Structure 1
Amino acid sequence: MREDKLYNISGSTTTITFSVVAACLLSLVAYFFYEPQVSGTEGLLSFLFNRIHTEHIRIIINLGAILISSLLLLWINNIYTIVRAHSSLPLLFFLLLECSNPELTSELRIGNILVPVILLSIALLYSTYQNIRPQNQAFTFSLLITAGFLFWTPLIFFLPIFWIGLYQTRALNSKTFFASIIGIITVIWLFYGGHFIWNYPLSFDKIFKTAGTIHWLHDEGEFSQLLYLLPTIAIGFIAGISSLYKHYSDKICTRVYNEFINVLSVCTTIFIGLNISEFYNFLPFLNVYVAIQASHLFNNITNKVMVYLFYTIIFIYLLFYLWILLQDLVSGVI
């Protein structure tokens, strides 16, 4: 009975409406009671985001990007059935992971803005599976990721992972790789040409220095960030291992799609560990991947333990939300 109830939740449009409304309410409460860490972004065109000084506009853009990402996630799953069936669980888990952390909703985060770029790139990559002409998709996702790199330098680290994804979808060959390189060159060429027209600043030395910087944990605030990350990593790890055990119960295409998500999840966790100063920009990407992994894990519930685990995860993240809010309020009073 409980299993049927969870199945009804995952397949209900009411779940989508409730999740979006709850996300907006959590974001609204965080806006009034939480003081986020304000930080700039590093990228060739990052000055465009850094010039948005009006707080209301920054938060509206940020929340809009989160909602767009959640709908894109739902759309991608419904097309490619990443979690074996049409389900609202990817949207539910993504909004839970995003909006339970006030730092991600109370300030404009470049990671939230660029998540739709990665989601569109994932959709393009998935469409290369059993495609006789995957060069167009390889060109387009490389163009999208490189365009995002102009606004946030670390985004370029995801591009080699997408080449691994091409290998997983059996679409990697000299033609697709060359098309990908052409996509990169196209963006750089257009950017460099635009410099002569609009005379915006070029700072390649600073960008390459930023991209190669490793920033280890060194203060108490960053350790508390890592503490918040542990449940997300644990969910991704458990879901990833579970997908390996249930490997042969999925369609071949579903296996390929989830294997790529597992690689993205692991690599993003490594990126965060190597550059903890970009924690809140990398975190939205990890939230997307873990949301997909968790949805695949819970979409076909077979026992009560998993049902209890589902509700426990929601409870834990809501507790984290309250803990972060109270911690900020107490520190503000002191």
Structure 2
Amino acid sequence: MDRLNRYLHSRNCTTLIFIIAAVMTYAAFRSGHVDEITGSRGTVFPSPNRWLPQGELSLVISLVLTALTAISFIGLNKVFNFMRAPSALTSSLYIVMLTSLPVAAGQFYGGSLMCVVMLGITATMFSCYGDMSATRRVFLIFFILSLASLVQYAFMFYIPVAILGLAQMRILNFRSVLATVIGIICPVWILYGFGVMELSDIGWPQFESVFSRLSVPDMITVFAAVGITMILGFAAMCANLMKILSYNAKFRAYNGFLTLLLISTMIFMIVDYGNLSVYFPMLCLTAAYQVAHYYSIRRPRGAVWVLIGIIAVYVALYSACYYV
């Protein structure tokens, strides 16, 4: 049993799960179960789902970004050790959760891009801990978020989250606030200066609801996947709180920011439910971390069967797309 438990936390397991997930996603794509995510524009430019026609190229790029997210999270934990254990379970669970909805895993769109961008933001944020002179990195964080929000407005909501992150990293002062403001303004300023856009182009995009092309049974599957992921993430987060409070200040800050990302993502999904699919990959990543963190630091008896049960639930959700 211990051997199986160690395997579930290993990178080999993550690799195997990704290969299986890629095959499952491709099968869903070939069977016509990857409904196109529709949308018009970001705050200025076309949203990522408009960059490519729906097809195999979009599928391949989505799978590449999924793999990149999984690898990046393993690397992030290796560098900052915020999980307090060398486990790849987060990446494995992320892939399992995401694959449960072929509509989210089987095409390139804003949600695919969000996880990669937010992991880059998180890595930069963590590198700033306690460094009051890190104004260039603070500028970079908000420059990226502002630039990304021009093509997918959901990134805009993470700007206040990142500002709270500055406080958690103990670098919130006048210089960092100034770097934040300049970083937010700079992308618009540069693009306007080069004549790429006009100020009148900025506006709230008219996104078509993700549910507009889904049948009622498909919507039930989507809500089931989102609901189960939220419950798992929130329950694990609550179970981890006391343990996190026993960490030193740096690791409390790291885990506090990851917890903030989970809570804010859940709030955004509830408020902006029409654009729910964009937040789903981020929900999967942050919820997967909370669950993996719990089982990595506590390793309770019967954990293997619970983890296998979680995987089975998401496989069942994936299977539902063929029968509903």
Q: Give the structure-1-normalised TM-score.
A: 0.87
How many aligned positions are there? 316
**Cα distance in 1 between the residues matched to 2:50 and 2:263:** 30
* Partner deviation per Cα, 1:137-188 (whole Å, 9 max, x = no partner): 2111111111111110121100100111111111111111111111111111
Q: Residue 293 of structure 2 aligns to which amino acid in structure 1? A: H
**Cα distance in 2 between the residues matched to 1:260 and 1:252:** 12
User: Matched residue of 1:228: which SS?
Assistant: helix
**Cα distance in 2 between the residues matched to 1:4 and 1:249:** 29
Aligned counterpart, 1:287: 284
Q: Residue 174 of structure 1 aligns to which amino acid in structure 2? A: F
Aligned counterpart, 1:244: 241
User: Matched residue of 1:26: which SS?
Assistant: helix
Aligned counterpart, 2:14: 16
The runs of 5 or more residues in structure 2 that have no matched partner are none
The alignment status of 1:309 with 2:311, answered yes or no, reads no
**Cα distance in 2 between the residues matched to 1:251 and 1:4:** 31
Aligned counterpart, 2:268: 271
* Partner deviation per Cα, 1:298-321 (whole Å, 9 max, x = no partner): 113432233322111111111111
Counterpart contact for 1:258–1:293, Cα < 8 Å: no
Counterpart contact for 1:102–1:325, Cα < 8 Å: no
Counterpart contact for 2:61–2:107, Cα < 8 Å: no
Give the fraction of aligned pairs with identical amino acids, expressed as a percent. 20
The alignment status of 1:253 with 2:250, answered yes or no, reads yes
Q: Residue 236 of structure 2 aligns to which amino acid in structure 1? A: A
Aligned counterpart, 2:129: 129
The alignment status of 1:5 with 2:4, answered yes or no, reads yes
Aligned counterpart, 2:96: 96
Aligned counterpart, 1:72: 72
Aligned counterpart, 2:225: 228
Aligned counterpart, 2:117: 117
**Cα distance in 1 between the residues matched to 2:33 and 2:307:** 30
Q: Give the structure-2-normalised TM-score.
A: 0.89
The alignment status of 1:145 with 2:142, answered yes or no, reads no
| CA spacing shift, 1:303–1:115, aligned 2, 3 Å | closer
TM-fit CA distance, 1:193: 2.4
User: Matched residue of 1:205: which SS?
Assistant: coil
Aligned counterpart, 1:330: none
Q: Residue 24 of structure 1 aligns to which amino acid in structure 2? A: A
User: Matched residue of 2:203: which SS?
Assistant: helix
| CA spacing shift, 1:258–1:147, aligned 2, 3 Å | same
The runs of 5 or more residues in structure 1 that have no matched partner are 328-334
Counterpart contact for 1:34–1:106, Cα < 8 Å: no
**Cα distance in 1 between the residues matched to 2:313 and 2:26:** 20
TM-fit CA distance, 1:121: 0.3
| CA spacing shift, 1:201–1:321, aligned 2, 3 Å | farther
**Cα distance in 2 between the residues matched to 1:32 and 1:273:** 31
**Cα distance in 2 between the residues matched to 1:26 and 1:47:** 26
**RMSD, aligned CA:** 2.4
